[in-house]
Structures are given as C-alpha cells and as structure tokens.
A and B are shown apart, each in its own frame.
Chain A
Amino acid sequence: GAVVSQHPSRVICKSGTSVKIECRSLDFQATTMFWYRQFPKQSLMLMATSNEGSKATYEQGVEKDKFLINHASLTLSTLTVTSAHPEDSSFYICSAPGQGAYEQYFGPGTRLTVT
C-alpha cells in the first residue's frame, strides 16, 4: 500500500526559531500533498495544499509567510514554520491522494512544541 513518511516525528524548538518538516511519498508519486494541523481533541484542519512545481494554496486564516511550503519533487513536500511561537505548538500531518484519488494516505505526523 501507499506509504507516506514524515520527519521529524517530534521537535522542540525555542520561540522565534524556524522548523522544517518533511513529508515524503515513499512508493508513489504525489503531485499534490496536503498539510493539516490538529490540536488536542480537535479535528484535522487543512492548512494548505502543496502542488509540485507551483505555489501552494493556503486556507483562509493561514499565513503563507509564516508557513512556507515547498513541493520541489513528486515525492517530497516541506513545511517550514518560521519564527515559531508557543501557539504554533501542534500536531502537523501531511497526506497525499491514493491511486483512486479519493482516499488519502497520511504521514505519521510531527509533534511540534515551541517553548
């Protein structure tokens, strides 16, 4: 089955620093990937759609200059949280559409803690 990996799985950083999260499709190509954020006991909320070779599409209320997305290849999308603050602490999850294009395959998530 399709596998999506994320790295790192956990990261702790100081306020004001930047953190990069990688999302890779291991055994398939993904021209589109999605980035979600999940707060405790809340649903996954879409942050942005990452498109290979073009600019990402951000959801309303998500600052594109703060959450930089780069989809440089068909198997890798990166999310960089710039000038992180404690309120950015969350669980960040990426996904890519499956072959059927309906179901999605999710990465294991990245737990970001900003101190």
Chain B
Amino acid sequence: SQKIEQNSEALNIQEGKTATLTCNYTNYSPAYLQWYRQDPGRGPVFLLLIRENEKEKRKERLKVTFDTTLKQSLFHITASQPADSATYLCASGDSGYALNFGKGTSLLVTP
C-alpha cells in the first residue's frame, strides 16, 4: 500500500539552528508532496508544495526538496525560532482528492 513515513517522531534543536525534517514514501510515486504545520488542538496549515520535477522550493525561511531517487522530501527551517515549535506533516494526494498524511514530526525549538 502507499505509504508516507516521517520516521522521526520528535526533533529538538536550539534557536538559530536549521531544522531538517524527513519524509519518505514507498510503493508509489507521488506527483507532488506537501508540507503542513499543525499546532496542538488545531487543524493543519498549508506551508509548501513541491512537484516531482522540482528539486527545491523556498518560502522565506522554509525550504523543501524532492528527491525521486531516494523517494524522499526534506523540509528545512533556517534560523529556527521558538515560534516554529509545532508538528510538521508531510502529505501527498492527487489534485482535488484527499491527502495521505505521514504521522508528523514534532519540532521543539529551545531558546
């Protein structure tokens, strides 16, 4: 079955460092991957989308890569801040269809 895996359940880093989160997919080849942020008790918020033919995408302090050989997407937050602490979800899905989510990685940025 199609799987999206975020193997790291939690990541703790110091403020100012770069956080790198990993998303792996198996048994299929998604045309694109998306990253969402979810705060406790809230719904996910869309951050970035990257297509399979795009190696890298940036938005402010965020950067996403898509490696179809490794079947992996990396999500980077540079110059991390305590306000970046949240759970980050990787997801895939066809246009107009529901998303298939990974379990998420809980990021904690400490001062």
CB <8 Å contact, B102 and A102 = no
Q: When the two chains form their complex, are residues B98 and A46 in contact, meaning their CB atoms are under 8 A apart? A: yes
How many residues of A sit at the interface, in one of the four size bands? 20 to 34
Please determine whether B45 and A43 come into contact, CB atoms closer than 8 angstroms: no
> Chain B interface secondary structure, helix, strand, loop or mixed?
loop
Partner of A44, one of B34, B42, B101: B101
Asked if B11 is at the interface of the complex by the 8 Å CB criterion, the answer is no
Total inter-chain residue pairs, C-beta < 8 Å = 58
* B46 pairs with A103, CB closer than 8 A: yes
Provide the B6-25 mask, 1 if CB < 8 A to any CB of A, else 0.
Answer: 00010000000000000000
Given A43-B101, A43-B104: A103 and B44 interface contact (C-beta under 8 Å): no
Determine how close the nearest CB of chain A comes to the CB of B34; give it in whole angstroms. Answer: 6
Q: Does B111 contact A (CB under 8 A)?
A: no
Chain B interface (Cβ < 8 Å from any Cβ of A)? 9, 32, 34, 36, 41-46, 49, 89, 93, 95-104
